[in-house]
């Protein structure tokens, strides 16, 4: 049996800007997405702490160490600059594999910087 698990979790992410005139998605600094094993094009669930919005989209890679978290296209209507986000990705795995699985978690520091950089 396959089960759905939270593979990656980014907390304390803050929207740096929005761009309504785009096809849609979320841009995430490459250093952030790499630290939690989220790939460009991967589906993510985005939770806006400020307004309670939850939506599903896919990731676009932003420049490494830029601190950018950008809502593009229709997603730009789901938050404003400085809103705090939680970003989650999921995976399917067999029950046996899941017993030893650990979610990759990252809490961002000031200006969306990966702590320890």
Cβ–Cβ < 8 Å for 75, 46:
yes
Distance, CA of 115 to CA of 1 (rounded, Å): 37
Distance, CA of 51 to CA of 84 (rounded, Å): 9
Which residues are tagged catalytic? 25, 58
Residue 81: count of CB within 10 angstroms of its CB: 12
């Amino acid at each position: 049996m396959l089960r759905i698990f939270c593979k990656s979790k980014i907390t304390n992410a803050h929207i740096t800007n929005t761009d309504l005139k785009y096809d849609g998605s979320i841009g995430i600094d490459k250093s952030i997405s790499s630290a939690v094993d989220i790939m460009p094009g991967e589906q993510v669930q985005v939770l806006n702490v400020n307004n309670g919005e939850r939506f599903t989209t896919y990731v676009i890679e932003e420049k490494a160490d830029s601190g950018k978290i950008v809502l593009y296209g229709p997603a730009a209507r789901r938050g404003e600059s400085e809103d705090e986000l939680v970003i989650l990705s999921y995976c399917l795995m067999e029950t046996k594999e899941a017993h030893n699985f650990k979610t990759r978690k990252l809490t961002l520091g000031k200006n969306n910087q990966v702590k320890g950089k």
